């Protein structure tokens, strides 16, 4: 009995590899977004802390100006991170679309392979049944003679 052979196996392997690469790229893009989210949370925590300490620390106008400059800088950082977050979301959508396309291309070949293998198994079963039937017919013929 010969082993099942799929003529497009190399192409299927290539598409599987491309799917894995697309999945890794999507994971990296999500990691970038998560990093930006953590930075935004850190900025928010620092802003809350600065606002709560505002009433206790401000004694002079220079303290007030320093505090306002610090809050302004935090706000600028927050805006930069929000812009980066929006860009990261766009990158994620691009990577997700690439992953979906790669996955679909792989699945087309996978389904084709499964169909071919099912036909091959059916043919193998028919050949085995024919061989068994020949053996039985040979035994019956030998017993009758």
- Domains of the chain, with CATH numbers? 19-144 (1.10.287)
Cβ atoms 84, 35 nearer than 8 A: no
**Separation between Cα atoms, residue 88 and residue 35, nearest integer Å:** 10
pTM of the model: 0.77
pLDDT of residue 32: 97
What is the band of 58 on the pLDDT scale with cuts at 50, 70, 90?
low
**Separation between Cα atoms, residue 95 and residue 89, nearest integer Å:** 10
Instruction: Write the pLDDT tens digit of every residue in 64-116.
Output: 888 889 999 999 999 999 999 999 999 999 999 999 999 999 999 999 999 99
Return the structure tokens found at 49: 């802390």
**Separation between Cα atoms, residue 42 and residue 61, nearest integer Å:** 27
């Amino acid at each position: 009995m010969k082993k099942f052979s799929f003529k497009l196996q190399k192409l299927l392997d290539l598409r599987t590899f491309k799917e894995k690469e697309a999945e890794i790229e999507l994971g990296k893009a999500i990691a970038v977004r998560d990093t930006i989210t953590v930075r935004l949370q850190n900025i928010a925590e620092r802003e809350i802390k600065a606002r709560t300490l505002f009433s206790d620390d401000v004694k002079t106008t220079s303290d007030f100006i320093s505090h306002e400059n610090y809050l302004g800088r935090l706000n600028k950082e927050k805006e930069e991170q929000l812009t980066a977050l929006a860009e990261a979301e766009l990158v994620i959508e691009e990577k997700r679309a690439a992953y979906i396309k790669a996955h679909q291309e792989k699945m087309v070949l996978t389904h084709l392979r499964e169909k071919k293998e099912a036909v091959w198994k059916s043919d193998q079963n028919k050949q085995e049944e024919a061989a068994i039937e020949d053996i039985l017919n040979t035994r019956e013929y030998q017993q009758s003679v």
